[in-house]
Chain A
Amino acid sequence: MICLGVIAAYVLIALGGMVYTWVAEMDNEDEILPLQQMVHYERKDQPPRLELSDAILGTDWAGKSTLYKVLLGAKTSLTVGLMANIIAVPVGLALGAIAGYYGKAIDDGIVWLYTTLSCIPGIVLLIALKYTFQDVTVLGLDLSGIHGLYIALGVVSWIGTCRLVRAETMKIRELDYVAAARAIGTPGPVILLRHVLPNVFHIAIIRFSLGFVTAIKSEVILSYLGLGVKPGVPSWGNMIDSARMDLFMGRWWELSFAVAAIFVLVLALSIFGDRLRDALDPRLRNV
């Protein structure tokens, strides 16, 4: 329950960040500034102090408030987690069910595809994809930024879902209710939709919640490498990247608060994912 509350709080912060960014864009009198313009060189590199009011967690090299950066970074992390899984889980679910149900050459093809992809270390594949996406625009979306990140993460992370769904489908295919449907004359695609998918759907839900964590962590790593969201966009990965020179100068706050924000979210999501699996996976129901 606590983890649900924590996740809800993060979602609210992310929504608040979206509203704030939108308001700042609409505001022409420059009373509400977007993060990129909150530059106050006169108070740069301040450690956390209560007197700083809106910069209670300290400031960075340009005098931007660490507190604002952490809060606005929530939106980036959550949308990346959501979008990467919206791409990856349905792909894994569909391909896994098709491979497991039809078998033979179709199965061979899909298994070949994902084993080939999974031969490449995930982070290397992500970096390669992001490099490929530099300055590529598809349907008006600039893939060198966050949209490319969604797609790259989607390409890398459907494999686990596909494997699990394929194995479960192969089990279900042999059950009598599938044999009964075939004896009735139900066409193959209808059997997949009515009999197989509803019985493997719990895997998709569990993978969605656990995949969130992976996607958030990958975003951080890629942004740290300068391949994630564009520089200047508030993101925890960008914060860690820009703070790496600060640490040995004794300026610990930007790094620490970004990491703390990631830690609490990832912990809450992981616990939530495990609980979800306990509740939905029939094999664990009697344990």
Chain B
Amino acid sequence: MTNAPNGDILTVEGLKTYFPVRRGLLALRKRFVRAVDGVGLRVARGRTLGLVGESGSGKTTVGRTLLRLVEPTAGRVTFDGRDVLAMSTGELRWLRRRMQVIFQDPYGSLNPRMTVGDIIAEPLRVHGIVPRRQRRQRVAELLERVGLAASYADRYPHEFSGGQRQRVGIARALAPEPEFIVCDEPVSALDVSIQAQILNLLSDLQDELGLSYLFIAHNLAVVEHFADDVAVMYLGRIIESAPRDRLYDRPRHPYTEALLSAVPTTDPDRRAERIPLPGEMPSPLAPPSGCPFHPRCPLTRRLAADLPADETETVGGDGEPIRVVARCTREAPHLRPVDGDAEHVHACLLRYDDPEG
């Protein structure tokens, strides 16, 4: 990723978040849902990292783990030079002011029994940011900052539309004056016309306040518009990551290729044939061996067709049996640079050595 002159505000290394599941008679067997399974990320100061993936890929859990809303199993998160996962209660108060979150569901993220003014004032009250008498004034400023009338402060969330509620959520996130905001699918639940307004608002705020974003989304068109760098997640792992243009122009991982082929585009040069992805994402309770993508990977199927039988393997329990390259089921892939480009990394075993394969 681009080394911005002022460095990274957030770095994540080897982050793992497992959720225990008890199953079976007497719940004796304890298994783990590997929601996040070794994720590394870097967010440069003042920039936006887009984190994309299907539902169930673990991207939301990454965001919640960074915020310490969910306890991680392993890994290292550094925010502004401080170790987030080792923070004491006092340090967490510091973190809560600097790292904020915007949620996907504009209906679930606002307490229906509180006025909009009280919702936005909550961070001010908890952290004692402005004196009590100036709170209303500050709330009015925040409402106007996100494009709402200051007079809305006494209304309840149900009186607002989805887009307006999302603006209220943004105002609440801005109230403690954070430097970094986790945007957890902030526009996925909105109408397309409203999506653009909210994205423009987020973008203006970034320019004015120098905010850094982790922008979690499943819509690649939105991410292309909004993010500076993009990381693609599959089954709890990052499988490709690059500055936006390089990823969109030259995706290296077959999963990224398939995702991008599904994005509607107006650029005739980039319009490729749509690559269908068979099957569904496997259960993170029992991820496939080797490369987690091999049961659905179009590339390994294509290559396996031309390989001798001893270099392939037949997989597929419940569906049709398929032939895949044996290496994909045995070797766990790691992120490697593309053509010596340290900022563009991917985790496809079949394309480590053969860049055009």
**A residues lining the B interface (CB < 8 Å):** 175-177, 179-187, 190, 194-195, 198-199
Q: Is the CB of A177 within 8 A of B96?
A: no
Q: Hey, which chain B residues are within 8 Å of A176, CB to CB?
A: 103-105, 108-109
Evaluate contact between B97 and A180: CB separation under 8 angstroms.
Answer: no
Q: How far is the CB of B66 from chain A (nearest CB, A)?
A: 10
- Asked if B276 CB lies within 8 Å of chain A CBs, one says no
Interface assignment of B123: CB less than 8 Å from any CB of chain A: yes
Closest to A180 in B: B109
Count of inter-chain pairs, beta carbons less than 8 A: 60
| Contact of A199 with B113 in the complex, beta carbons under 8 Å | yes
B108 near A184 with CB under 8 A, answer no
Contact, CB under 8 Å: B172 / A180? yes
CB <8 Å contact, B69 and A182: yes
Size band of the interface chain B makes with A: 20 to 34
- The answer for the CA separation of A198 and B126 in the assembled complex, in Å, is 19
A177 CA / B107 CA spacing, docked (Å):
9
Contact with A along B104-139 (1 / 0, CB 8 A): 110011111110000000110011000000000000
Nearest to A199 among chain B residues (CB) is: B113
**Quick one: closest B residue to A195, CB to CB?**
B111
Q: Are B100 and A183 in contact (CB under 8 A)?
A: yes
B93 CB–A CB distance under 8 Å: yes
A-B contact pairs, 26 of them (CB 8 A): A175-B109, A176-B105, A176-B109, A179-B103, A180-B101, A180-B109, A180-B169, A182-B69, A183-B67, A183-B69, A183-B100, A184-B96, A184-B100, A184-B123, A184-B126, A184-B172, A185-B92, A185-B93, A185-B97, A185-B126, A185-B127, A186-B122, A186-B126, A194-B114, A194-B122, A195-B114
Check A199–B93 contact: CB distance below 8 A: no
Enumerate chain A residues within 8 angstroms of B169, measured Cβ to Cβ. Answer: 180
Q: For B114, give the chain A residue with the smallest CB separation.
A: A194
What is the minimal beta-carbon distance from A11 to any residue of chain B, in angstroms?
29
- The 3 A-B pairs at the shortest CB distance, nearest first, are namely A185-B96, A176-B109, A198-B113
CA gap between A175 and B100 in the complex, in Å: 17
Which residue in B96, B110, B113 is a CB contact (below 8 Å) of A183? B96
Contact indicator A199/B112 (Cβ below 8 Å): yes
Residue of A nearest to B64 (CB): A179
Q: Which of the residues A175, A179, A184, A199 comes within 8 Å of B122, measured between beta carbons?
A: A184
